[in-house]
């Protein structure tokens, strides 16, 4: 029986051919590696999907924030333009009012100067007339005296 058992051992050893053993080891390693590769791909795909969802949310938030910023800047720009228009309108109204006030002051000043000029002219005319009368009265008196003296002499 020993011979049989030795023969079985020899057959078992023959069956375990090193080439076959290496090939089986290679195939099993490849299968295990492929399974690990599949698992890694699966976990990586899940991580990528989670990251994609996070990044999609971040991108959505980014674009939403950019839209809000753009809207806010646009509103601010529009308010600035409206403010400038109001300021320009107010400045125009203020300038117009100032010009009107200046013209009114000038007209009043001209009226006042005219009135003062007319008063001064009237005073000058009246003063001149009085001066003329004052200067002429002695001459007229002297002339009347001369005529009164000469009249009896010239008319005998």
Concatenated DSSP letters of 25-93? HHHHHHHHHHHHHHHHHHHHHHHHHHHHHHHHHHHHHHHHHHHHHHHHHHHHHHHHHHHHHHHHHHHHH
| Between residues 86 and 116, the one the model is more confident about | 116
Percent of the chain scoring above 90 in pLDDT? 18
What is the rounded distance in angstroms from the CA atom of residue 107 to the CA atom of residue 102?
Answer: 8
The band of 6, judged by pLDDT with boundaries at 50, 70 and 90, is low
107 has pLDDT over 90? yes
Residue 19 has pLDDT above 80, yes or no: no
More confident residue, 104 or 37: 104
d(CA 50, CA 42): 12
The pTM of the full predicted model, rounded to 2 decimals, is: 0.37
CA distance 83 to 76: 10
pLDDT band at residue 53 using 50, 70 and 90 as cut-offs: confident
The CA-CA-CA angle for residues 76, 82, 86, to 5°, reads: 140
pLDDT at 63 over 90: no
Residue 14 confidence (pLDDT) above 70: no
**pLDDT attached to residue 57:** 83
Q: Mean pLDDT: which of 29-33, 90-94, 109-113, 129-133 is highest?
A: 109-113
- Confidence class for position 108, pLDDT limits 50, 70, 90: very high
Res. 3: pLDDT tops 60: no
Residue 4 pLDDT greater than 60, yes or no: no
Supply 11's token pair. 């057959």
Q: Is 100 exposed, middle or buried (0-12, 13-18, 19+ CB in 10 A)?
A: exposed
């Amino acid at each position: 029986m020993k011979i049989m058992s030795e023969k079985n051992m020899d057959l078992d050893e023959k069956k375990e051919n090193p080439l076959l053993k290496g090939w089986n080891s290679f195939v099993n390693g490849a299968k295990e590696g492929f399974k690990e590769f599949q698992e890694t791909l699966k976990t990586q795909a899940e991580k990528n999907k989670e990251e994609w969802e996070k990044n999609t949310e971040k991108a959505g938030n980014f674009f939403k924030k950019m839209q809000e910023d753009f809207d806010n800047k646009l509103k601010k720009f529009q308010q600035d333009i409206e403010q400038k228009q109001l300021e320009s309108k107010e400045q125009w109204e203020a300038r117009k009012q100032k010009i009107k006030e200046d013209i009114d002051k000038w007209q009043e000043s001209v009226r006042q100067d005219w009135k003062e000029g007319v008063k001064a002219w009237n005073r000058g005319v009246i003063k001149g007339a009085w001066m003329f009368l004052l200067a002429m009265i002695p001459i007229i008196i002297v002339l009347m005296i001369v005529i009164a003296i000469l009249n009896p002499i010239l008319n005998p």
